[in-house]
Structure 1
Amino acid sequence: MALNISRRNPRLRRFLVVTAVVGASAALLAPIGVTPAQAADPYVSDTRPDLVPALSGYSSLWQTSGLNDLHGTVKDAPTLQWNDRVTSWINQHATKSQQFRALQNAAYLNSDGSGYDQSISIADGLGSTLGTLYAQGRINGDLPKVAALINSSNGTAGAYVSTSNAKAAFSYPRPFLNADPTASKVEGDTDACAPSKVNSSSLAPIRKGKSWADAKGNLKITRVPATVDTTHSFASTNVTLDPIYGESGLCTGGSYPSGHTTTAYQAGITLATLLPELAPQILARTSEAGNNRIVLGVHYALDIIGGRISGEVATASRWSDAAFRKEVLNPARKELVSYLESKCGARLAACIAKDTSYVNNPYAGAKIPGGTTQQVTDRKSALKVYTERLSYGFAPVSATTLSASVPKGAEALLRTTFPTLTNRQRRQVLAQTEIASGHPLDTTISSRIGTAPGSWQRLNLAAAMSATVQVRADGSVKVLSVGGKATVRRPAR
């Protein structure tokens, strides 16, 4: 979808870089910490959550050296081998068009106002027409409340948490790093990225002899070359798109969890709560933005799942804050709906009904290992693809029949989808739409002994936000179906 933007947002201004997101170069650094402007009006949720407990399932797969040097000990070789296999396959099979979309999603707004924001480049999740209108409104400054909330540079929700501490805590090497410390530096890379200084040698033993790696243990990853975006889809000027493999900010930083994916999900989940009518499509588009980090070969599938978890934790924290809901989130929803309806010329439901839904065919019809083609054509396929990317075909690593484990506060994410339900009922919806226990990063067992706050990994927000639920006479709810319009049925009187 081409989003024709005629002029730049006149309200763009310089912002301070307060924390470096791994995955951005010195020229394209993306801050995901809080800025002084954000701290002007304090909210309870301004004390940001610690991501490490929610991400702690990784510790059963990999034990870091503790030195934040990207070295450590493999604890679960089969799981990390699948991580390698899926990552290499996606990188090798993505279409040229998908590679370009991946470069677009990797872009952040520069400190001088050039480039474009990640929370705008997922616009087509709203559909062809509404996505164009949304992007135009963001760029032209017609959605100031939404922009202040959702942008990925310093938005109060879109740039809410930093992954820096989590990356250091797990310190896992990136997919494209050479496994051989004696290998020559790639031409054009900075000295800090030389294999003698940063490498994936700890993973070489589990890679040698595998079809997705070479004889020295290097994962088969093709670097996607930099290019220039001349489409003017998200900016009025041409924009250089560079995956920056050879920049120290990327190569020396931990791969897990993905910072870009975290910001994508902070923006995407927030946008889905502002427009729950389009939640499955918006969330599927958000999952594509995360998956695009694998397309570029800078992250693994587990990193993307970790980024989703981080985005869920962050957005739930904001929605759990009553004052922030009242003063920031609800006004942003009102602004966005009003804007879209005025530009579309009809009520939102009618605009959605006549629009062309978000579509995507990342691998030209080829099936990902253990999965499908991940093609999105409509609302139901959007839900299917989103659900598949919750686990990426990993084999279970623990019991698969454990009961639901809904993290405290997650129910707040369903407030706009089911405004007439209670928090208890919303939790029941989440519990009944969760995926099974036992997948990598699932913390169901840990949460039961008090070392993790429920299992964010199991949440299926696209299913929950498209559920038809029946309210029983005793006040409990039963999910009847998912993938349609979110609906509440109540007992006949």
Structure 2
Amino acid sequence: MKIRLSMLAVLLTATLPALAQDVSLTQARAIAGSVTPASSSLVFDAQESQSLAALRHALKGGAATLKREHLAKAAQSTTQADTAWLKASGYDFQTKANQQAGIELLSAFSTLLDSVLQANRDTVAAINLDATQAVRHQALADAEGISFLYFLSDAMGPRLGKAFLTAYEKGELGKAAALIKASEVSTGAAKKHFNYPRPFLVEGNTIHLVPDDVIVQDNKPYTADGGSFPSGHTNTGYTDALLMAEMIPERFDALVIRGARYGYSRIVLGVHYPLDVMGSRMVAERNVAHYLNDDKYRALFNEARDQLRTALEKECGKSLAECAGRGGKDDLYRDPAMNTFYRFTLTYDLPQQKGEQQQIQVPEGAEVLLKTALPHLSSAQIRALMVKTAMPAGFPLSGTTADQQFWQRLNLPAAYAMAQKIH
């Protein structure tokens, strides 16, 4: 243990030049394209097909064919999600209070410079227009799968991902499925507060609305209504991914990165800007930390987690550690390039305001997000990792308050990766 602690001290005092380097849009676009139904891995592609087929089956319910009207009624079945268990708990998710906290956290959006907003518009146009068919197909599946957890199988690796889809369909993860979806704090109040138009509604835009040839398969262009900032889908995807990462810490980094990739899909479809996605990441991280520090929520979380892990081991036929282990070339979300992609999504290469570099401060209890994934480290060590691996100051939405600075600059996969060097 003394050796590990001394190694940690060395790492925390070392410089991390990679964190300060910008990742280009071209580089990020190529990496995002590597995790689609047309990837280089036949195993990954087969798992994507299985997940998509399960999603389309769930969306149509008992109907013979899937129609557009089914999408508005989409929800996990009573077999998939044990909503009765959750309702019986009487837990109060304090939705309104958390929504207000989210609005305050994102208040810096209202003071952004015109140059930042222009870069925001330029970036969505570039990502949307240059997306490949495979990336668009992935984005459509992500969009219409918002009410379900199928998308998370992508980041679980070839063995665990398959076991997850089987257990989810059988209803063996009911408590986790119910709790995770109930933990999503709606962004509706924030959308009304900021009242920012979506990219495809701005006069003179060049957005290409993607025709649906994946889900309903009627080629109707995918669209969305309501305000743009922040992104509701990203909030959902990141909340789901982060909570699943807390339940399966063996896949922590891959699952967190999947949340970021889910947000990227919203930009591909041209219905959200980078800032919308960045803001929702901040809010989702804050909300998950808030819940995990609540003893009543934690009791429900532990019960759901235990049921999930037992079910996954049953379907795997081996220990969860073995099942969740690295899957070689077919384990695409464990490719080091995905950490680079995640780094890009923290800023989307939007302009950084130079000037005084504010020292980051870790909010009380924020270390809970890495506690399960890094059990060999103390709270103080985790907090130090969060500071050391944080993004540079000055990027959009980092604002002026300590909370804004922290949640905008937090890089969970980087902190996790650094800790692995001493484990």
Bin for the TM-score computed over the shorter chain: 0.7 to 0.9
Paired residue for 2:188?
164
Aligned counterpart for 1:300 among listed residues 238, 249, 273: 273
- 1:66-104 alpha-carbon deviations (Å, 9 max, x no partner): xxxxxxxxxx12111111111111101111011011011
Shift of 1:421: 4.0
- Rate the CA distance shift 1:318–1:379 in 2: closer, same or farther, 3 A: farther
Paired with 1:349 and 1:52, the residues of 2 have a C-alpha distance of 39
Paired with 1:357 and 1:88, the residues of 2 have a C-alpha distance of 32
Paired residue for 2:25?
none
Aligned counterpart for 1:106 among listed residues 126, 143, 153: 143
CA RMSD in angstroms, aligned pairs only: 3.3
Asked if the contact 2:386/2:411 (under 8 Å) is kept, the reply is: yes
Query: Does 2:401 align with 1:446?
Result: yes
Q: Which amino acid aligns with 1:156?
A: A
Paired with 2:361 and 2:73, the residues of 1 have a C-alpha distance of 36
Aligned counterpart for 2:134 among listed residues 94, 97, 111: 97
Paired residue for 2:284?
311
Paired with 1:281 and 1:304, the residues of 2 have a C-alpha distance of 18
Paired with 2:239 and 2:326, the residues of 1 have a C-alpha distance of 28
Shift of 1:135: 1.9
Q: How does 1:384-395 map to 2 (within 5 A)?
A: 384-395=340-351
Asked if the contact 1:84/1:300 (under 8 Å) is kept, the reply is: yes
- Percent identity of the aligned residues? 33
Asked if the contact 2:235/2:283 (under 8 Å) is kept, the reply is: yes
Q: Name which of structure 1's ranges 37-46 and 285-294 shifts more when overlaid on structure 2.
A: 37-46
Aligned counterpart for 2:325 among listed residues 334, 345, 353: 353
Paired with 1:337 and 1:225, the residues of 2 have a C-alpha distance of 38
Structure 2 stretches lacking a partner, 5+ long? 1-44, 62-67, 76-82
Paired residue for 2:352?
396
Query: Does 2:27 align with 1:41?
Result: no
Paired with 2:46 and 2:219, the residues of 1 have a C-alpha distance of 17
Q: How does 1:86-165 map to 2 (within 5 A)?
A: 86-108=123-145, 117-150=147-180, 155-157=181-183, 160-165=184-189
Q: Which amino acid aligns with 2:137?
A: F
Paired residue for 1:210?
none
- 1:143-181 alpha-carbon deviations (Å, 9 max, x no partner): 11221122xxxx232xx31101111111111111141xx
Point out which structure has higher relative CO (alpha carbons under 8 A, 6+ apart): 2
Q: Could you list the structure 1 runs, at least 4 aligned residues long, displaced by more than 6 angstroms after superposition.
A: 5-12, 238-242
Paired residue for 2:42?
none
Shift of 1:28: 2.2
Q: How does 1:67-466 map to 2 (within 5 A)?
A: 76-108=113-145, 117-150=147-180, 155-157=181-183, 160-179=184-203, 218-229=204-215, 244-245=222-223, 250-251=224-225, 253-325=226-298, 327-353=299-325, 355-356=327-328, 378-397=334-353, 399=355, 401-443=357-399, 445-447=400-402, 455-466=406-417
Q: Which amino acid aligns with 1:269?
A: L
Paired with 1:341 and 1:36, the residues of 2 have a C-alpha distance of 24
Asked if the contact 1:176/1:221 (under 8 Å) is kept, the reply is: yes
- 1:244-264 alpha-carbon deviations (Å, 9 max, x no partner): 42xxxx34x110000000000
Shift of 1:277: 1.8
Q: Which amino acid aligns with 2:418?
A: A
TM-score normalised by structure 1 residue count: 0.66
Shift of 1:400: 6.0
Aligned length: 361
Asked if the contact 1:265/1:311 (under 8 Å) is kept, the reply is: yes
Asked if the contact 2:157/2:327 (under 8 Å) is kept, the reply is: yes
Paired with 2:58 and 2:261, the residues of 1 have a C-alpha distance of 29
- Rate the CA distance shift 1:243–1:334 in 2: closer, same or farther, 3 A: farther
Paired with 2:300 and 2:278, the residues of 1 have a C-alpha distance of 28
- Rate the CA distance shift 1:30–1:173 in 2: closer, same or farther, 3 A: farther
Paired residue for 1:187?
none
Paired with 1:441 and 1:346, the residues of 2 have a C-alpha distance of 44
Paired with 1:415 and 1:295, the residues of 2 have a C-alpha distance of 33
Asked if the contact 2:187/2:230 (under 8 Å) is kept, the reply is: yes
Asked if the contact 1:43/1:324 (under 8 Å) is kept, the reply is: yes
Q: Which amino acid aligns with 1:280?
A: D
Q: Which amino acid aligns with 2:316?
A: C
Paired with 1:103 and 1:442, the residues of 2 have a C-alpha distance of 30
Q: How does 1:5-24 map to 2 (within 5 A)?
A: none
TM-score normalised by structure 2 residue count: 0.76
Paired with 1:240 and 1:144, the residues of 2 have a C-alpha distance of 32
From the two aligned structures, give the one with the greater strand fraction: 1
- Rate the CA distance shift 1:316–1:176 in 2: closer, same or farther, 3 A: same
Asked if the contact 2:198/2:227 (under 8 Å) is kept, the reply is: yes
- 1:101-146 alpha-carbon deviations (Å, 9 max, x no partner): 101100147xxxxxxx442223211112311221221122121122
Query: Does 2:114 align with 1:54?
Result: no
Shift of 1:285: 1.7
